[in-house]
Copies of this chain bind each other. A is one copy, B any other.
Amino acid sequence: MIASLRFILATLVASFAFSGLALAEKIVVQVSDGNPATWNQALNVVGNLREVYGADTQIELVAFGQGIHMLKFDAPVSSRIVEAQKNHGAKIYACEISMGRNKLVRNDMAPDVVFVRAGVEHIIARQREGWVNIRP
């Protein structure tokens, strides 16, 4: 019963994050793959989402695991990371656990990236808040 109340509470919390069906989507795009073709595809998806859903939609991209290399300042997609941030209004997150495993420090990464402890933790939190998780 207490668990039920907690769930209902969680749903209400989510409702404040997810501001309506047709009004503004909230989408978190996951990249955990080391293949640059997947990186480009994820960045295509970010652009498509902005075009399809319009300016109000919140779009985030979270890189972890082998996907973390996508966010290195000298990655083959580095100019597209800036484009996703500036032109498509996406917030980009880097997983610090994955950075550590790959001996990457903050200075190795693309500008304006947001650092989070664990990429999966951020993705799970967003799902609990009512965001949709897409892994292109």
Name A residues whose Cβ lies closer than 8 Å to a Cβ of B.
Answer: 3-4, 6-16, 18-21, 23, 25, 27, 32, 34, 37, 41, 44-45, 48-49, 52-53, 64-66, 97, 101, 117-118, 120-121, 123-124, 127-128, 130, 132, 134-136
Contact B21 A3 (CB under 8 A): no
| A97 CB contacts on chain B under 8 angstroms | 44, 48
| A23 CB contacts on chain B under 8 angstroms | 6
Tell me the smallest distance from the CB of A16 to a CB of chain B, in Å.
Answer: 5
Q: Contacts A37-B66, A48-B120, A124-B134; is A7 near B11 (CB within 8 Å)?
A: yes
Q: How far is the CA of A121 from the CA of B135 in the complex (A)?
A: 13
